[in-house]
Structure 1
Amino acid sequence: MVAKARCLCGQVTLEVGAHPILSTVCHCSSCQDAALIFERLPGAAPILDESDGVAYVLFPKNCVQCTSGRENLREYRLKESSPTRRAVAACCNTFMFLDFTKGHWITICRDRLEDRRVIESAPVQNRQSPMFILRLMAAWARMGFRNPKIEFLQGRLENV
Structure 2
Amino acid sequence: MKTVELSCRCGGTRLEVQGEPFLVSECLCTSCRAAAARLAQLPGSAPMLTTYEATATAEYRKDRVKILTGVNTLKEFRLTPTSGSRRCVATCCNTPMFLEMKGAHWLSVYLNLWPTDQRPKPQLRTMTGDLHDPSGLPQDIPNLRTHSPAFYAKLFAAWAAMGFRNPKIEVKGVLDV
Tell me, yes or no, whether TM beats 0.5.
yes
Larger Rg: 2
Give the structure-1-normalised TM-score: 0.90
Q: Is structure 2 residue 173 aligned with structure 1 residue 155?
A: yes
Please list, as runs of the form range in 1=range in 2, the aligned pairs for 1:24-103 lying within 5 A after superposition.
Answer: 24-103=25-104
Deviation of the 1:145 alpha carbon = 1.2
RMSD of aligned Cα (Å): 1.6
CA distance in 2, matches of 1:114, 1:101: 29
Secondary structure at the counterpart of residue 153 of structure 2: helix
The CA deviation at 1:5 is 1.9
Counterpart residue type for residue 87 of structure 2:
R
List per-residue Cα deviations over 1:63-106 (Å, max 9, x = no partner).
21110111111111111112211101101111111011311100
1:7 matched residue in structure 2: 8
Q: Residue 137 in 1 paired to residue 156 in 2?
A: yes
The CA deviation at 1:126 is 3.7
State the percentage of identical aligned residues.
40
3-state SS in 1 of match to 2:120: helix
Ranges in structure 1 where 5+ consecutive residues have no aligned partner: none
Spell out, residue by residue over 1:49-74, the C-alpha distance to the aligned partner (whole angstroms, 9 max, x if none). Answer: 01111000000011211101111111
| Structure showing greater relative contact order (alpha-carbon pairs closer than 8 Å, 6 or more residues apart) | 1
Q: Is the 8 A contact 2:40 2:46 kept in 1?
A: yes
Contact 1:6 1:114 in 2 (8 A): no
TM-score by length of 2: 0.82
Worse-superposed segment, 108-117 or 9-18: 108-117
Unaligned stretches of 5+ in structure 2?
A: 127-146
Q: Deviations over 1:15-46 (max 9, x none)?
A: 11232111000001110011001111111011
Task: Supply the AA of the counterpart residue of 2:165.
Answer: R
> What is the rounded CA distance, in whole Å, between the counterparts of 1:8 and 1:132 in structure 2?
30
Amino acid at match of 1:124: Q
Q: Is the 8 A contact 2:59 2:106 kept in 1?
A: yes
